[in-house]
Amino acid sequence: MDNDRGSIRADFHTHSTASDGTLAPAELIEESARQGLLHVALTDHDTTGGVTEAVEAGKGHGINVIAGIEFSAEVERGELHILGYGIDPEHAGLQERIERLRQLRVSRAERILDRLRELGIDLDPSTIQTEHADDSVGRPHIARALMAAGVVQSVSEGFDRFLGRGKPAFVDKQLVEPSEAIQLIHSAGGLAVVAHPLSLPNPLEVLARLVQHGLDGMECYYGEYDDAQRGALAAMAADLELIPTGGSDYHGPAFREGRDLGAVDIPEDVVRRLLGALGIQTD
């Protein structure tokens, strides 16, 4: 194993087929074992549907699986992603909100298919369906269907030509208020963490505001960020007294550069601090 890596290998940002990842939760954990990871948070978009399977698989591989989620929240100039860690997946209030979001994602996917039909692209809706009833459907599923139909050569071409914001088949999805996302995560017993803060045009302003709403942490060690960006974010986390976290945002093999499972070298003290805040013993 690479010597520079922290001795507690962890990845706190991953997706499975319960949302728009391409590996099933158990496959994700098998791959985590191959990568030598000890702690993995499953953070599917708007769903905890993969958590039980991942936790079970983790037991077989000696991997601690953290029950997580990634909410898409609304901010003035776009979308903010908020991760929840250590949540109770059975929490009734959380599940009720998730179920509403799931239904809205299904109707949004139908509207995207309508738009594509108007553009002369007739995708069979059955090719968009997810594996389980509680999975979250997203634009990547439609991009993959466009690929399978030979309309585009890659998922990113699907976003560039049709599905991205401002493109002809773009349809907004339901976003939650950041304060509501934090509150939902807290009510289910979890920690709320802003994901990939550099997606925001004004990260410091938004983070400082969310601290007032009880935000617990921010993702500093992110797959696509370089060392300078990670360092600047870690300094910001220290100033704001937020828990720094890290993860790859893995969506399956060959998704995007920097997004390989376990590829982010999260400093050991950062891993220990987050695990400590989640009540997980490391020694």
* Site for ligand AMP, rule CB under 6 A: 20, 45, 138-140, 155-156, 159, 164, 173, 251
11 is an interface residue for Fe ion by CB under 5 A: no
- Which contiguous run of DSSP H or E holds residue 84? strand 78-85
Q: Which amino acid is at 7?
A: S
Q: Cβ closer to Fe ion: 194 or 195?
A: 195
Q: Cβ closer to ligand AMP: 9 or 251?
A: 251
Q: Cβ closer to Fe ion: 1 or 254?
A: 254
Residue 173 contact, options ligand AMP, Fe ion, Zn ion, none, Cβ 5-8 Å cut-off depending on partner type: ligand AMP
Which residue of the chain is nearest Zn ion when measured via CB?
A: 20
Site map (CB under 5 A) of Zn ion, residues 15-54, x = contact? -----x----------------------------------
Q: Cβ closer to Fe ion: 41 or 169?
A: 41
C-alpha pair distances (Å), 244 with each of 3, 103, 190, 235: 22, 33, 15, 9
Burial 36-54 (b: 16+ CB within 10 A, else e): ebbbbbbbbbbbbbbbebb
> Two tokens at 255?
């998704």
Largest Cα–Cα separation, the chain: 59
Dist CA 89 CA 216 (whole Å): 19
81 is an interface residue for Fe ion by CB under 5 A: yes
In the complex, least distance from residue 141 CB atom to Fe ion, rounded to whole angstroms:
15
* Percentages of the chain per state (helix, strand, coil), in multiples of 5: 40, 15, 40
In the complex, least distance from residue 53 CB atom to Zn ion, rounded to whole angstroms:
18
Q: Cβ closer to ligand AMP: 38 or 70?
A: 70
Dist CA 25 CA 61 (whole Å): 13
Which residue of the chain is nearest ligand AMP when measured via CB?
A: 138
Dist CA 172 CA 93 (whole Å): 24
The label of the residue with tokens 């400093």 reads 267
Q: Cβ closer to ligand AMP: 16 or 64?
A: 16
Residues of this chain that interact with Zn ion (CB under 5 A) are 20
Residues of this chain that interact with Fe ion (CB under 5 A) are 70, 81, 195, 249
